[in-house]
Amino acid sequence: MKKLFTIFLFVLLLSMTMNAAANLEITFWTHEDPNRTEIEDRYIAEFEQANAGVTIKRVTSGSGQIQELILTAFAANQGPDIFNMSIEDEYAYIANERLAPIDFQAAGYPSLQAVYDAYIPGVLDPVTYKGQLYGLPLELTNWCIFINKKVFRDAGLDPEKDYPKTWEEMVEVSDKLCIREGEILNRRGFDFRYPYYLVAMVPMVEQLGGQLISDDGKTAIVNDQAWIKFLKFMQEWGPSGRNLGSPTYTNARKLFNMDNNDIGMCHTGLYQIGRINADNPAFYESKEWMVVPFPKFENAVKDVPAAYYGHYYMVNGQKPKENQQMAWKFIAYMLSHPEEYLTKVNIVQPTVELMGSETYKSMPYSDVFTNDMAKGHIVYYGENSAKIQSHIREAVESVMLAGVSPEDALKTLRRKVQEVLDEG
């Protein structure tokens, strides 16, 4: 009887172990994007069918909340198997060695070099750390200017000829496009995307010859004159200057798709085209919108467009090896559909094959984005890039909204960013 019980127990434990091995759950946290959800849900179903016993649990959160959720989960050692964020937020995970390097074999590549060869040069540099590769790009995005042609014509302008090529022209054109009720802007010509200072505003300083951090990475704020000119420009843009926009108005990019005669221009990525189509098909079909390059200052010393940023799929290094391999296999499966991501979601996976494909080249305005990207560089990323971005935000807000002089704002900005660099 005792023997029988021992055998029964052994069989039970064995079956439980085998069952656990056969049922592998991969958690996948990502930001909300309805167009992506549609195709990725299908990839999950296909992958689960091809890999019996594997379950992919995809969880989405708003793009504003996902960073906090993943951070707190990792802090409690409960991070998901797969996640993605923008590189300036993701880099801290690499620097703190919380990730699993790519398993190129599981991802279907013959060698690590083959992974690098599949992507356009430099695009994997931000996720390469101590000789290991820690991410594969879901998308690489740069911003150009989206224009509502109807708004231009309504203000007596020809969008094809009168679109702003310089920031000085941007001020003048925006002023003409504005519809004001006293101090209140019922229609803005253009407005910035205020939370993203590293992507769009640091390049404006670079056009004037300034830098956020010196080349050796030790000194904050290079070329005071460039920074002061940029801060004066923002002061002039704000409510106490020519009153062309403010961080407290609704995000221009969100309003643009609705075509409600409340915004003339905004800056955003190629993905916006898919979102216009999803939000307002009539406006999309009307072709009453166009995309032009990121402007530069009249006396710019460098031709720098908006910085590009990447969202990289990454794998949690604290998960069992088996999960890591399956996670890389699944990521590679999703990323094996770059043309569908491009046509359905309008996001660009920077593979050599896609960037040279007819599908990409025939996308409306893809040439505008490609030309700008060729002149640009990746956004500043580091372990403390979010904190540095917040300090730039404070400087810009203080000149736009609080009446602080650009010189004083710069002094504070320098002190704070230097402190971040010194603390390491």
Partner 1 sequence: MNKRIPNYSIERKKARWGWIFVAPTLIFFSLFSFYPIFNALYTSLFKKKLLSLKPPDFIGLDNYSYLLKSSDFWNSMRATVVFTLGTFVPLLIFSLIFAIFIMSRKRFQNFFQLAYYSPAVLSSVVAAVIWLLIFDPRGLGNQWLNSIMNTPGIDHKWLANSVMVQMSTMLVYFWKYVGYFTIIFIVGLASIPQSIYEAAKIDGANDWKNFWYITLPLLKPTTILVSIISMLQCLRTFSTQYLFTQGGAPLAPINVITLNIYHTAIRDHQIGRASAMSIILFVIMMLFTWVQFKSSRADEISY
Cβ nearer to partner 1, comparing 158 with 419 = 419
397 binds partner 1 (CB under 8 A): yes
Stretch touching partner 1 by CB under 8 A, among 37-45, 72-80, 306-314, 347-355: 72-80
55 binds partner 1 (CB under 8 A): no
Residue of 28, 47, 74, 146 that binds partner 1 (CB under 8 A)? 74
Residue 129 tokens read as 């750390």
Distance CA 400, CA 232 (A): 9
Distance CA 92, CA 85 (A): 11
Instruction: Collapse the DSSP code of 178 into the 3-class scheme (helix H, G, I; strand E, B; otherwise coil) and give the result.
Output: coil
Cβ nearer to partner 1, comparing 335 with 392 = 392
98 binds partner 1 (CB under 8 A): yes
Q: CA 149, 155, 158, 163 torsion: positive or negative?
A: negative
From residue 224, alpha-carbon distances to 138, 221, 290, 380, 408 in Å are: 37, 7, 35, 19, 11
Exposure letters 136-169 (e unless 16+ CB within 10 A, then b): bbbbbbbbbbbbbbbbbeebebebeebbbebbee
72 binds partner 1 (CB under 8 A): yes
The answer to whether 185 and 249 have CB atoms below 8 angstroms apart is yes
Cβ nearer to partner 1, comparing 93 with 134 = 93
What is the end-to-end Cα distance of the chain in Å, rounded? 66
330-389 binders of partner 1 (CB under 8 A): 383-384, 386-387
Distance CA 226, CA 210 (A): 5
62 binds partner 1 (CB under 8 A): no
Cβ nearer to partner 1, comparing 239 with 364 = 239
Per-residue mark of binding to partner 1, 248-287 (x: CB under 8 A): xxx-------------------------------------
Cβ nearer to partner 1, comparing 316 with 351 = 316
Stretch touching partner 1 by CB under 8 A, among 70-78, 113-121, 268-276, 320-328: 70-78
Distance CA 231, CA 395 (A): 8
Cα dihedral: 54, 55, 60, 66 (round 10): -50
Stretch touching partner 1 by CB under 8 A, among 94-102, 149-157, 268-276, 330-338: 94-102
Stretch touching partner 1 by CB under 8 A, among 212-220, 307-315, 366-374, 390-398: 390-398
Per-residue mark of binding to partner 1, 166-185 (x: CB under 8 A): --------------xxxxxx
Neighbouring residues of 290: CB distance < 8 A, sequence distance ≥ 6: 146, 147, 149, 159, 160, 163, 365
Q: Which residues bind partner 1 (CB under 8 A)?
A: 64, 68, 71-72, 74-75, 92-93, 96-98, 180-186, 194, 239, 246-250, 383-384, 386-387, 390, 393-394, 397-398, 401-402
